Chain A
Amino acid sequence: MIDLSGISKSYQMGQHRVHALREINLQIQPGEFVAIQGSSGSGKSTLLNVLGILDTPDTGSYTLDGHAIENLSTADAARYRNRFIGFVFQSFNLIHHKSALDNVALPLYYQRVARKQRNLKALEYLEHVGLKDRADHKPSELSGGQSQRVAIARALITQPALLLADEPTGALDTSTSEQIMNLFHEVNAQGMTVVLVTHEPDIAAQAHRSIVLRDGDIVSDRTRDAARHNISDHDSDPVNHS
C-alpha cells in the first residue's frame, strides 16, 4: 500500500536547519491500522502530510498503491488525494459557511458528481456517523465531537483506500474520543488502511501497529499480533521492517 524509502524533509529556521524527517523508510500494508506517536516537534504531522501528498519531501521515494508519487503535478496530486486519501484533522477543518451536508458532499463536487446524487450520498454518510438530523447545521452550531464526525463523514464519502488522521481526538473528551475511534475501527474492519497521529498512549494502544518518532527518526515500530496477543518488536531493525 505505502512504501517510503529515504524520505527526508528539513526546514531552514534562521541560522540552522530543522530536520523534520530524516531518511524515513516505512512500509504499510493494505488494511493496517497504524498509530504514529512521538513528542511535539518529532515530525509526526510532517510524515502524515507526506503520506497524504500534501507535502513533498526533499529526498526519497514514495509509492502509493503502486503509483510513484514523486514529481507528480499539483493537479495530479489533487486528484490522488481526492480518489485515494481521506483526511481528518485535529481542528476539524470544516468550511464554516457551509452546512454539515455541504461540507460532507464537497469531495464529490470535485469528482463532478451531480448535486442531487452527492447530497443523497452525503446524507447517507451523515446518518452513518449519527448526524443525519444535523445536516443543515453550520459547523458553529455543532459540538467538537459532532464536528469531527462530520469531518470523518467527509473523509469517507469518496471511499478512499487510505484514511489519514492527525490527532483526531486531540480536542475531544474521552467519551467522544471513544466514538471517533469506534468509527475508525469500523472502517478499518472493512479493509480501509488507517494511519493516525496521536500522543495519547491509550489511543495508540488501539492500533495494530505503533510507530514512534523522535527528531524525525523512527525509533520504534511495534506490531501487535492480534492472534497471539503479543507484541513483536522491530526496534532493533526498523529500516528493514516489512
Chain B
Amino acid sequence: MIDQLAEIGDSLRTHKTRTALAILTVAWGIFMLVLLLGAGRGIQNGVELQFKDDAVNSIRIYQGKTTIAHNGLARGRSIQYSNADYDQVQAKVPHVDKLTARYYVGDNRVSYGGQQAAFDIRGVHPDHLYLEKTIITAGRYINELDLIERRKVCVIGLQVVDRLFAEVSPLGKLIELGGTVCQVIGVFTDEGSRSEEETVYMPVSTTQLMFAEPQRLHMLMYTVGDASYQQSKDSEQQVRSLLAETHNFAVEDKRAARIYNNLDEYKKITDLFFWVRVFVAVVGVGTVLTGILAVSNIMVISVNERRREIGIRKAIGATPGSITRLIVLESVILTTIAGYIGLLASLGLLELLKATVPENEYMYQPDVNTFVVVSVTVLVIASGTLAGYLPARRAARINPVEALQPS
C-alpha cells in the first residue's frame, strides 16, 4: 500500500500541470457544493428563528364578523367568545395539547413609583407560556391557583422592567394598571421578538373580574402536540364547526371565526426548503459530475501519455488488475486532495462570512456539520473511483506489443 502510494505520488509529481488542473476542477465543484449547502442551512436557520416566536404547531382562533346570513340572522354580526368556548375546545376538540385564551385589556397604562408607560396587558391561562415560548428569567409564570383565586398578580417582560424599574428588582413589587394594583411575580424574555417583551401577563380570570366581564374572552390558542399536519387540519376543522354551532354562523363563513394554523405557514416553508434542497442537489450533482468528467478526461489523457510505461509494466509482470488499481487509486487520491481543498476553502469562507457579516434574519449561522464533511469524503472517493474506472479499464486492456512498438 505504501509502495503503491509512492508509485502514485511519483506519477502525480511527474505530471504537475495535469494534476493541478484536475485538482482545481474538483476543488471548485466541492467548494460550490459546500457553499450552497452552507448558505441553504443559513437561510433555513433564519426562517426557523422567525418561527421561534411561537410554537410551530399552534392554532390561533380570533373572533370576527359574519359575512353570510345564517338561520335568519343577518350578516355583519360580531362573534364574541366566552369561557364556554374555552371549555368546549378543551372537552371536544381532538389533538388539543396546550390551550389558552386571551383577554385583552383595553387600558394599557402601567405605572410604578411615578414612572408610567403603555404596554399590552393580557389575561391568559398558564399554558400561554408554551404557546408564546415565553422564557421566565426570574420568579414564575401564572399558575392554576392564580387563576382559581383570581389573584392580582402579573408577569412582566424585560422591556417593562427596563422602563419602570430603574435599579430595584421588580419581583414582589406592586404596579398599577387598569385602576388597580397587582404584584409582579415573574419576569420573562422572548427569543422571537423584542415587542413581545413589552407585555404584561395576568391570570385571565383576574382581568375578566377587573373589567366586570366574568365570561368574556377575546381569542383562543392551542397546540396540537405531535399531531401530523393532516391531524392538525382535522382539529382546526372541528373547532370551526364547534364555534359555528355555538355562535350560530355558517361553517363556511371563514370570517366569522378567523382561524390560523401555524403549521400551514410552516408547511409552506418546509415545502419551499424541499425545493431549495432539490435545487442544491441538482446544482451539486451537476458540479460534481463536471468534476468527475474533468478528472476522467484527465485520466484518459494520462493513460494515453503513459501507454508505453503501462506496456513496460505489463511486459515485466504487471497484471491488468494492478494497472486498474494504480489508475483508480491515482484518481481517488487526486479527487480526495482536491475535495478537501475545496471543503477547507468553503468552510473558511463560511467562517469568514459568519465573522464579518452581522447577524440577520435572512442568513443566520450558515453552517456545515460533520454529516456534510463525511458526505463530501464519501462523495469524492466514490467520484474518484467512478472517474478513474473507465480510463483504468482502458489502461488495463492496453496491448503491450503495440505499446512497446518503437516509435
Contacts and interface: CB of A to CB of B under 8 A. Distances in A.
Contacts of A90: 406
Interface stretch (B150-158, B203-211, B312-320): B312-320
Contacts of B317: 78-79, 81-83, 107, 110-111, 158
Interface in A30-85: 49, 52, 54-55, 74-75, 78-79, 81-83
Given A75-B321, A90-B406, A95-B309, A82 B316 contact: yes
Interface string A157-177: 010000000000000000000
Contacts of B406: 89-91
A150 to B, nearest CB: 12
Contacts of A209: none
A107 B316 contact: yes
A107 B317 CA distance: 7
B87 interface: no
B316 A110 contact: yes
Interface string A117-160: 00000000000000000000000000000000000001000100
B377 interface: no
Interface in A85-117: 87, 89-91, 93-98, 106-107, 109-111, 115
B401 A54 contact: yes
Contact of B315 (A52, A75, A96, A115): A52
Contacts of B322: 110
Listed residue (A78, A89, A91, A110) with the most chain B CB atoms within 10 angstroms of its CB: A78
Contacts of A110: 313, 316-319, 322
A83 B317 CA distance: 8
B14 interface: yes
Nearest to A171: B406
A203 B371 CA distance: 69
Contacts of B320: 74-75, 78
User: What interface size band does chain A fall in?
Assistant: 20 to 34
Nearest to A112: B3
B136 to A, nearest CB: 69
B308 interface: yes
Contacts of A97: 10-11, 14
Contacts of B319: 74-75, 78-79, 110
Nearest to A95: B309
B189 to A, nearest CB: 66
Given A75-B321, A90-B406, A91-B406, A106 B401 contact: no
Given A93-B404, A110-B322, A115-B3, A54 B313 contact: no
Nearest to A118: B3
Listed residue (A82, A90, A109) with the most chain B CB atoms within 10 angstroms of its CB: A109
Contacts of A107: 316-317
A87 B10 contact: no
Contact of A106 (B2, B11, B316, B404): B316
Contacts of A95: 309, 312-313
Contacts of A91: 406
B400 interface: yes
A96 B313 CA distance: 12
Contacts of B3: 109, 115
Contacts of A55: 401
Contacts of A79: 317, 319
20 contacts: A49-B401, A54-B315, A74-B319, A74-B320, A75-B319, A75-B321, A78-B318, A78-B320, A81-B315, A87-B315, A87-B316, A91-B406, A93-B312, A96-B309, A107-B317, A110-B313, A110-B322, A111-B317, A115-B3, A154-B316
Interface of B: 2-3, 6-7, 10-11, 14, 308-309, 311-322, 400-401, 404, 406
